[in-house]
């Protein structure tokens, strides 16, 4: 069989107060089209369908619409699990009915041991879990996610039908992966990592959680990554989905084109407002993270940059003069006129007081001294 592997949709997510609803709709449209073009037998969504357990009404309406489109309109079987961003209890709403149309949405640990068979493949849908659930389920102490997964995998293997392929759908941090910033980091002392060695009996492991599809470099265990860039640290990560053939095994990466990109622009204030970057990105609808190279203070910086880049999500100033520098200047024995001149240059990038300003300042200083 052939299926499409995606994850981490994070419907409802905002990027520094910008709604991503349109971007997410555009990414969804591409995923839907790919599912049709590749004539897949199922779509796998490996957790974090929502960005928050308490999703907004708009997010609920958007995700409901997407799932309905794929399953009821396109008649595609769906295989989904809850991730750490989802509320398992809320996401479960309707799930018993969904199965009537081959939409399998698993949100409990127990349901991971009810494999779904589609064509030649048994799918084990393991939702994001916490250790206490595993302790309760197996009625024994469990100290790490690795230990939990050893129990879970063992139980799954007892359910393996030998003439079938075996695919695990899961949402966790597999060992060897490298993180990006936009996952909520929940590790305590490395207890959260699942060793990839535990997962080798599956023909494929369709993972969600990390947003980088290259986070794990195992032929048969993959993160799909998120369909969109959700943080500045993902600016250089190509987004897409996996098309997975089970027999013979074949993995195909298909990139998604963002409606608007997320880019990091580096340069001085002058370059960003008048140079090549300013011309190339003028009035861009892309999400822009700015690395400003200037050392000096710049007055009303955000508003002046927003004229050129309406969707600034971050400004970083690695070279900015620190308050310590200012303090050194203030405490140095400079005469008042030089101090004022220096300060003016800091606030108004490298400008100096003009003759008229200098005259006004001198008059005021003289008056103070005489007073």
Point out which residues bind a second copy (CB under 8 A).
Answer: 53-54, 57-58, 60-61, 64, 68, 72, 87, 89-90, 92-98, 100-101, 103
Q: Rounded CA gap, 103 and 79, in Å?
A: 6
- Smallest separation (angstroms) from a second copy to the CB of 70: 12
For a second copy, which is the closer residue by CB, 67 or 205? 67
- Smallest separation (angstroms) from a second copy to the CB of 19: 16
Please list the residues that pair with 11 across neighbouring strands: 50
- Smallest separation (angstroms) from a second copy to the CB of 77: 14
- Smallest separation (angstroms) from a second copy to the CB of 103: 8
- Smallest separation (angstroms) from a second copy to the CB of 11: 13
For a second copy, which is the closer residue by CB, 91 or 145? 91
- Smallest separation (angstroms) from a second copy to the CB of 48: 17
Contact in structure between 265 and 246 (CB atoms under 8 Å): no
Q: Rounded CA gap, 217 and 319, in Å?
A: 36
Angle of helix 336-347 versus helix 355-370 axis, rounded to 10: 140
Q: Rounded CA gap, 125 and 65, in Å?
A: 22
For a second copy, which is the closer residue by CB, 104 or 173? 104
For a second copy, which is the closer residue by CB, 54 or 184? 54
For a second copy, which is the closer residue by CB, 97 or 197? 97
- Smallest separation (angstroms) from a second copy to the CB of 94: 2
Mapped onto helix, strand or coil, the DSSP state of residue 339 is helix
For a second copy, which is the closer residue by CB, 65 or 190? 65
DSSP string, 105-153: EE-STGGGGSPEEETTEEEEE-----HHHHHHHHTS---SHHHHHHHHH
- Smallest separation (angstroms) from a second copy to the CB of 124: 23
For a second copy, which is the closer residue by CB, 52 or 164? 52
Please list the residues that pair with 121 across neighbouring strands: 118, 165
Contacts of 185 (CB under 8 A, 6+ apart): 179
Please list the residues that pair with 123 across neighbouring strands: 116, 167
DSSP string, 279-332: HHHTT--SEEEEEE---S--TTHHHHHHTT-TTEEEEE-TTPPPHHHHHHHHHS
For a second copy, which is the closer residue by CB, 60 or 193? 60
Distance of CA 210 to the CA centre of its chain: 8
Running DSSP on this structure, what letter comes out for residue 219? T
């Amino acid at each position: 069989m052939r299926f499409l592997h995606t994850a981490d949709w994070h419907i409802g997510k905002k990027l520094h107060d910008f709604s991503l609803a349109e971007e997410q709709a555009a990414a969804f449209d591409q995923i839907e089209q790919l599912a049709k073009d590749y004539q897949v037998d199922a779509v796998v969504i490996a957790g974090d369908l929502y960005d928050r357990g308490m999703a907004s009404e708009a997010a609920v309406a958007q995700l409901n619409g997407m799932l309905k489109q794929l399953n009821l309109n396109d008649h595609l079987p769906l295989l989904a699990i809850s991730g750490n961003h989802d509320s398992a209890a809320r996401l479960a709403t309707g799930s018993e009915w969904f199965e009537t149309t081959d939409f399998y949405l698993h949100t409990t640990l127990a349901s991971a041991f009810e494999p779904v068979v589609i064509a030649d493949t048994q799918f084990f849908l393991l939702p994001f879990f916490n250790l206490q659930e595993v302790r309760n389920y197996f009625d024994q102490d469990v100290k790490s996610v690795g230990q939990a997964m050893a129990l879970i995998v063992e139980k799954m293997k007892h359910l393996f039908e030998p003439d079938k392929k075996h695919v695990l759908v899961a949402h966790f941090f597999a060992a060897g992966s490298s993180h990006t910033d936009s996952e909520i980091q929940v590790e305590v002392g490395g207890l959260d990592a699942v060793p990839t060695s535990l997962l080798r009996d599956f023909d494929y492991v369709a993972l969600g959680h990390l947003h980088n599809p290259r986070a794990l470099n195992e032929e048969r265990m993959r993160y799909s990554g998120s369909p969109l860039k959700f943080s500045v640290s993902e600016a250089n990560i190509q987004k897409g989905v996996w098309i997975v053939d089970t027999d013979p095994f074949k993995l195909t990466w298909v990139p998604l084109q963002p409606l608007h990109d997320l880019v990091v622009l580096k340069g001085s204030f002058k370059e960003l407002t008048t140079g090549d970057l300013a011309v190339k990105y003028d009035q861009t609808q892309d999400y822009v993270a700015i690395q400003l190279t200037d050392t000096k203070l710049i007055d009303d910086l955000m508003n002046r940059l927003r004229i050129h880049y309406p969707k600034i999500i971050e400004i970083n100033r690695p070279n900015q003069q620190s308050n310590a520098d200012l303090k050194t200047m203030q405490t140095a024995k400079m005469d008042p006129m030089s101090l004022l001149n220096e300060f003016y240059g800091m606030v108004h990038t490298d400008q100096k007081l003009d003759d008229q300003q200098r005259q006004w300042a001198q008059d005021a200083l003289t008056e103070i001294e005489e007073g």
